[in-house]
Amino acid sequence: MELQNIRNVYLIGIGGIGMSGLARYFHHIGCMVCGYDKTPTHLTDALSAEGISVIFSDNTSFIPAAFNTPDEKTLVIYTPAVPKDLSILKSFQDRGFELYKRSQVLGIISKGMFTVAVAGTHGKTTTSSLIAHILKEAGKDCSAFLGGITVNYQSNVLYGKSNIVVVEADEYDRSFLTLYPDIAVITSMDADHLDIYGSPEQLTESFQLFASQVKEDGKIVVKKGLPITGDHCTSYSIKGEPADAVAENINIRNGDFYFDFLNRDMVIGNIKLGIPGTHNVENAVAAIQVALYMGLMPHHIKNALASFTGVKRRFEYIVKNSRHIYIDDYAHHPEELRACLSSVKKLYPDRKLTTIFQPHLFSRTRDFADGFAEALDLTDELLMLDIYPARELPIEGVNSNMILSRMQLKNKHLCGSMQDVIDRVHKEKPELLLTVGAGDIDQIIEPLKSALGHVE
């Protein structure tokens, strides 16, 4: 496929965060872009408002005539998350179209560009967004394909005129193996997506393959302790253990996180981070090291970190005043939950924390029930929703009670519906509220905000 020939782009699963970024990119460069998704969301609403046609009916008659036959001007992209028996998907297959995954298209776009690729089972969205923001703020133009909506730019794709691209490299379905970066970051390799990989060992092997694809003169910035080694590797840490790049003197002042950055060459002191959380300090250390490798000056990096306002659904403040604090986060793995809950408790040690959690995937719940229970025991009160199935069919015996039954916490409740949760919050009006999960829990953010008595 030659990128410069493409005029018409169809995306099957256009409402996904990664797919929507590609839709915006091709729309930006002047292509006719349209696509299908199962249900309307805030993201599909935004795409429609930008002039991108989105349908929600699996009806092949709605496919535009420009996609009748395969040719060099036409590109069809799909996400592996859509059902294999989807009529629109089968229609393209039956008519001889070559279908591309998002990751393959990212590989084609980034080919020949200076590529910074950020991988990890968690932390990659914030870290890649930090890197892109630092580059933009420091006057080093870049494009970026991100796994979340950045608050600074209100988008998941950034357009640049330079030869630099920042890419969030997704490990799901081994997607990141289409990339050959100049600089790679690996934030974490916790067992996840075992429905795809089968075992933690196979997941580790895929990350090692990804690391091996970094260009010969490239750099790898890797979290201390991960099994990625080599002369071109730089380790980073915040835990006081020896590493090539570290954060020290982490402290909270007036609700903001400050820290010092140290590597073998320099110290950057008293850095203010525009987003909260010890885990985000760790993400920032990786981003700083990448920025230094790209020749940015320390004072530019420092200013950019202070002005970074975060990513939607990554420790995002929904309400913040003297009466109520409401934070929303995408955490859907035990380690992410532990980091998020620990940071909230550290920021607000004197407030009772009420957490609303929606487990994501039956397989993930089954595989990590003990870890979820241990992490959620950090909260003071838990309101648990049913499992969000996403791409999966139910697994016998696997449900939200699988987690609840393993917890020590006394104040825990299973809420069958989102309305139950909203009603309870309206009645109790908790002083410190946290919603966490990667499913459709974001649909109740505004109703919960209203239930707390905050309406804009």
Question: Tens digit of pLDDT for each residue in 212-270?
Answer: 999 999 999 999 999 998 889 999 999 777 899 999 999 999 889 999 999 999 999 99
- What pLDDT was estimated at residue 239? 74
- What pLDDT was estimated at residue 195? 56
- What pLDDT was estimated at residue 67? 95
Q: What is the pLDDT of residues 147-183, one digit of tens each?
A: 999 999 999 999 999 999 999 988 766 778 889 999 9
- CA 27: distance to chain centroid? 22
- What pLDDT was estimated at residue 158? 96
State the Cα–Cα distance between residues 249 and 270, nearest whole angstrom. Answer: 9
State the Cα–Cα distance between residues 322 and 432, nearest whole angstrom. Answer: 10
Residue 197: band (very low, low, confident or very high) from pLDDT cuts 50, 70, 90: low
Q: What is the strand order of the sheet 381-384 is part of?
A: 316-320, 325-329, 432-436, 353-357, 381-384, 412-414
Percent pLDDT > 70 in the chain is: 97
Amino acid, res. 249: N
- What pLDDT was estimated at residue 261? 97
Mean pLDDT taken over the chain = 92
Q: What is the mean predicted confidence (pLDDT) over 195-209?
A: 77
What is this structure's pTM? 0.86
- What pLDDT was estimated at residue 198? 59
Domains of the chain: 3-100 (3.40.50.720), 112-307 (3.40.1190.10), 316-451 (3.90.190.20)
> What are the E-state strand segments in 105-207?
114-119, 143-150, 155-158, 164-169, 183-186
